[in-house]
Amino acid sequence: SGAGKSTLLRLINRLETPSGGQIVVDGEDVTALDANGLRRFRQQVGMIFQHFNLLASKTVADNVAMPLTLAGDMPRKQIDQRVAELLERVGLSDHAKKYPAQLSGGQKQRVGIARALATKPKILLCDEATSALDPQTTASVLQLLAEINRELKLTIVLITHEMDVIRRVCDQVAVMDAGVIVEHGRVADVFLHPQHPTTRRFVQEDEQVDENEQRDDFAHVQGRIVRLTFQGEATYAPLLGTVARETGVDYSILAGRIDRIKDTPYGQLTLAITGGDMDAAFARFTAADVHMEVLR
């Protein structure tokens, strides 16, 4: 909150005017566009909002049609056909004549998504699109966004403070703090190996890890304490047993979890290792492309 995420998003389609610098989208500096150029550019950029921003006096169909109606360059018959296609895609064909007040939060956001797709944009901006929704509805909306991303080859720029949202749908992530991007990269790299203190704090809060408490819990444990991170098929490989047999080390599992980042499984284990040839064991983990962090 207050990091500048929404401001950055609104700069992309020039809802906010930059005080300096350039905003380059697909090789074009949008800060240099005149009024007509900006209008054409905005037709290529859809946007959905946290609080839906639907017109209460308009039906679902009319809300979805609004961008096409305002553009004024499509016959009414084609607009109606496009609206019908979009409502079918978001699962609201039976709600075309309803009004926003008759819809649930998830249905309202689906109307917002359909409206944002009306002009066949190349980019979809999502400003906290799931923050006002319950977990089950959030999951269904995220699934819809992921399907749209794959089917339409649409770039989605998504603003959120919810780590699980990023984990489910994003390929790349940028972490902001006080108006500055402090870390960015592949979601798996940033989440599993955070470098900046802000990112580490987000990850620890999401995983409900208190490093001080964890340090106290491990104080009585003998041996070297390491955290191993597995990705992809390595998550399910019987590596620990193999390494223990080959190097003679013993290990105790202190903490662990398995989850997914988008379609990729990953696992993290915190181990206490004693006896045997520890250097050989560590080398074996590294050779298996397992990221290892020595905690003590």
Q: Cβ atoms within 10 A of the Cβ of 186, count?
A: 14
Separation of alpha carbons 144 and 133, rounded Å: 14
**Domains identified in the chain, total number:** 2
Structure tokens at 80: 């109606």
Say yes or no: 158 and 238 in one domain: no
pTM: 0.82
Would residue 200 count as lying in a domain?
no
Based on the domain organization, do 245 and 132 belong to the same domain? no
* 296 residues of the chain, pLDDT tens digit each: 677 888 999 999 999 998 989 999 989 999 999 999 998 899 899 999 888 899 999 999 999 999 999 988 889 999 999 999 999 999 999 999 999 999 999 999 999 999 999 999 999 999 988 887 888 899 999 999 999 999 999 999 999 988 888 988 999 999 999 889 999 999 988 988 889 999 988 887 777 665 666 666 777 888 899 999 998 888 888 899 999 999 999 999 988 888 888 888 899 999 999 999 999 999 999 898 898 888 88
Q: What angle do CA 30, 117, 22 make, to 5 degrees?
A: 15
Residue 191 belongs to a domain:
no
Residues 140 and 221 in one domain: no
Let me know whether 228 and 120 are in one domain. no
Range of the domain at 154: 5-170
Tokens of 60: 């679902």
Strand ranges, E, within the chain: 24-25, 28-29, 45-48, 123-127, 155-159, 172-177, 180-186, 224-231, 250-261, 264-274, 291-294
226 shares its domain with 162: no
Give the CATH number of the domain where residue 262 resides. Answer: 3.30.70.260
Residues 263 and 156 in one domain: no
Look at residue 261 and tell me if it is in a domain.
Answer: yes
Distance, CA of 18 to CA of 14 (rounded, Å): 8
Q: Is residue 206 part of a domain?
A: no
- Is there a single domain that holds both residue 153 and residue 65? yes
